[in-house]
Amino acid sequence: MLICPSTHFGRSRLLHSLSFNALKASAAAGSSHSLVIKLGLVNQLSVQNKVLGLYVRCKKFKDARKLFDEMSRRNVVSWNTVICGLVDCGYGGEFKTRQHPNISFFKEMLLARVDPDGVTFNGLLRSCVVLNDVESGRQLHGLVMKVGFDLDCFVGSAVVDFYAKCGLYEDARLAFGCILYRDLVLWNVMLYCYVFNYLGRGAIEIFYLMQLEGFRGDDFTFSSLLSSCNFIGSGELGKQIHGLLIKQSFDLDILVASSLVNMYAKNNSLHNARKVLDEMPTKNSVSWTTMIVGYGQQEDGKEAVRLFGRMFREDYCPDELTFASVLSSCGFISGASELKQVHSCLLKFGFEAFLSINNGLITAYSKCGSVAAALRCFSLIAEPDLVTWTSIICGLAFCGLERDAVELFEKMLSYGIRPDRIAFLGVLSACSHGGLVNMGLHYFNLMTNGYQIVPDSEHLTCLIDLIGRAGLLDEAFDLLKSVPKEAGSDAFGAFIRACRTHGNPRLAKWTMEFSSEPKEPVNYSLMSNMYASEGSWSDVARMRKLMKDSCERKSPGYSWIEIAGFNHLFVSSDRSHPQSLDLYVMVGLLLNTTKKDYISIASKVDLAPE
């Protein structure tokens, strides 16, 4: 359809077309620009600004700069389009190589005698947040005050947001106090400043003040307030906010209700979180994912997988975070059949291209003992990152393939990928379980001297376990002294196991005196068993009493086997299983058969059975 360039109606139709094309692919930018030239509207400033914005939104920064330089006239909209567009769409092209490109554009703007407006300062301050340029942000704040924009709510909100996201909450509060007329957006920005910097009491104070000023709040206000309660111990405050939400009917809002689910889940109150989810009149993918993530964080993998299935049945589409959380839950419960079903779903929805999903698959398959599947997932990744390499290395170590884990670690180094402390923890764990003492010491030295990574208690625990298994108990004891006592219970347990394995109760007793309290019940049990092997029953009774007085009730260990998608759980001397009678008959039969075979073999080699 031919658009007449000479009429106001034709120009309006073209501007509308350019705005619509901004939602389409980047190819539309070039074709729209060609149409503008063809129709002779290339000198129309409003049209040029639209095309310029289209180039920036499509991240065609080179073409945007070329058009910007060719413009004979530029108004404040032209400059704002470039300044705000770079922030909103990310820095790219030639602007990546320049030092704070928006400040450079702003200087050019002032030299061209174009007066900035509130949108200009808003975009500049947001760019300072993106680039973490505190000094430029402070200078901009000074200029804002000099030209009189500090009283403007729109610019003032940007100033407060800048200081908040740079961690300067006191400066944010001072800037907030200088603004005489405050709207709800400004109050929300100030409230979020305290939430962002983990200052819950300050957030509650701001909420109280805004109530006194007559502002009721909106969904963002209450979502931010609930975010300030997302840590253990703030559940009571969260319940009070929940009561206020019900009173003001904000509990029906999807965003606020999802924040409620998250708050209860973070405070270990899964029952209340699930109750909020079930009572939501309308849900979205975020609501379901929040609850699934909550189950996963509380290690309730079965319920997470069950809720994931219900989400599908109710026709809600999962996102990347949903799949990542469910994969983690499948790994925790070692649910191989559930994992395969989730894997099929993510393939169906096209999520196999996400690197985070592939990393989750590798970890989940490893925890389920499916090494071949984990390696297959790893081999399908074109460009594995550090997390990918770490996942497969830790997975192989977990499944008892220690030498393969070491080989992959060396391969990762050959590709020029710099390992972090978690990658080193994985390879040290592999060396520890595989008895690769020299390799373990080599990697520990490489971590501390080559990559300048300070070892934490987990690395030291691995090293103690490594040299303890090799029988170097004196060296392991010296290393144990360097582990912080508040984080040394695992190291203590590793050392006690080494002492028991190599028959050195004396050093274990010294360790008991050195560590005033081993903290974990398993460590008391190890000491008790060691005393029992020596016949020191008084010490056994003392250890058992210490364990009872100093530790919480020990959860019994259990084993399980998955058959037809159902996990059968067993604890020691368990008779709760419906087939327990048949199971114990079979165990007795196997023991008798094994004993007869041993006697038969022992008689043939002239050995007396024990």
Residue 528 three-state SS:
helix
Q: How far apart are CA 432 and CA 362, in angstroms?
A: 22
Same domain, 473 and 549: yes
pLDDT of residue 489: 65
Cβ-in-10-Å burial (0-12, 13-18, 19+) of 155 comes to: buried
Q: How many domains does the chain have?
A: 3
Looking at the domain assignment, is residue 537 inside a domain?
A: yes
Looking at residue 388, its pLDDT comes to 93
Residue 348, C-beta contacts closer than 8 angstroms, at least 6 positions apart: none
Residue pLDDT, tens place only, 175-192: 998 888 889 999 999 999
| 494 plus 540 within the same structural domain | yes
pLDDT at 20: 42
Q: Is residue 520 part of a domain?
A: yes
The residues that bridge with 571 in the sheet, in sequence order, are 558
pTM (2 d.p.): 0.68
Of 385, 386, 388, the C-alpha closest to 374 is 388
Positions of the chain with pLDDT under 50:
1-10, 12-16, 18-27, 92-97, 517, 607-610
Residues 463 and 482 in one domain: yes
Burial (CB count within 10 angstroms: exposed 0-12, middle 13-18, buried 19+), residue 138: middle
Question: How does pLDDT run across 38-80, given as a tens digit for each residue?
Answer: 555 556 777 777 777 777 777 777 777 777 777 878 888 888 8
- Its domain, for residue 594, covers 558-600
Which pLDDT does position 266 carry in this prediction?
86
In a domain, 466, yes or no: yes
pLDDT at 91: 54
Q: What distance in Å separates the CA atoms of residue 492 and residue 477, rounded to the nearest whole number?
A: 9
The answer to the question of residue 124 being in a domain is: no
Residue 498 lies in a domain: yes
Tell me: do 551 and 529 sit in the same domain: yes
Residue 561 DSSP class: E
Are residues 543 and 529 part of one domain? yes
pLDDT of residue 87: 78
Last-in-domain residue among 282, 303, 335:
282
Residue 464: inside a domain, yes or no? yes
Does residue 476 belong to any structural domain of this protein? yes
Q: Spell out where 455-541 has E strands.
A: none
The pLDDT assigned to 8 comes to 45
Instruction: Please check whether residue 575 lies inside any domain of the structure.
Output: yes
The pLDDT, as a whole number, for residue 293 is 85
Are 540 and 590 contained in the same domain?
A: no
Instruction: Report pLDDT for 141.
Output: 92
Query: Do 519 and 562 belong together in one domain?
Result: no
The span from the CA of 375 to the CA of 361, in Å, is: 10
Q: What is the pLDDT of residue 29?
A: 53
